[in-house]
Amino acid sequence: MSNPREYLLCSGCGKQTPISQARVRKHCAYCAQIFVDSRFEAHGGEAMTAQTEIVQYHLRMAMIRTVAAYSISAIFAIIAAMIVIFAPESRGVAANLFAGAFLVLALGIAGFTRFLVKAPGLEISGTSQNSI
Ligand SMILES: [Zn+2]
């Protein structure tokens, strides 16, 4: 087991670079991930306040990220519905295809990793290996 004080853990590839090497090169020896010194210090009462601010900021940004993703997903779903509703009859097939594409985008942004659409003469399904 290597001493963690002598190695820097790369956030890019997970491998350990010796600190003596990392100080000189400033990036990972394996994947060229740049090391950023993101340490901070706080003492006494300031430490608790700083910790609280960090946690609150993290929670606020996580909430904004979630709400923004669902908002964009809802907008895409509305666009898909409007394409179907307002499409001229001569462009019905193209409108359905675009509406389907927008619906798939909306589902993907909302976090669905599998979907299945069944209609007479039509079956669309999709899966994703990646989960965000
Ligand atoms: Zn690396």
CA of 7 from ligand 1 middle (Å) equals: 12
Q: What is the DSSP letter of 32?
A: -
Average pLDDT, the chain: 84
- Cβ atoms 85, 122 nearer than 8 A: no
CA of 113 from ligand 1 middle (Å) equals: 29
CA of 17 from ligand 1 middle (Å) equals: 8
Do 35 and 77 fall within a single domain?
A: no
Tokens read off for 6? 């002598």
Q: Could you give the CA distance from residue 31 to residue 13 in angstroms, rounded to a whole number?
A: 7
Domain span including residue 6: 1-39
Q: Per the domain annotation, does 97 fall within a domain?
A: yes
- The residues with which 114 forms a beta bridge, in sequence order, are 127
Pairwise pLDDT comparison (19 vs 66), residue with the higher score: 66
**pLDDT band at 75, cuts 50/70/90?**
very high
Tokens read off for 57? 């900021």
Provide the whole-model pTM: 0.53
Do 32 and 70 fall within a single domain?
A: no
Helix spans in the chain (H): 19-25, 45-86, 92-110
Q: Per the domain annotation, does 55 fall within a domain?
A: no
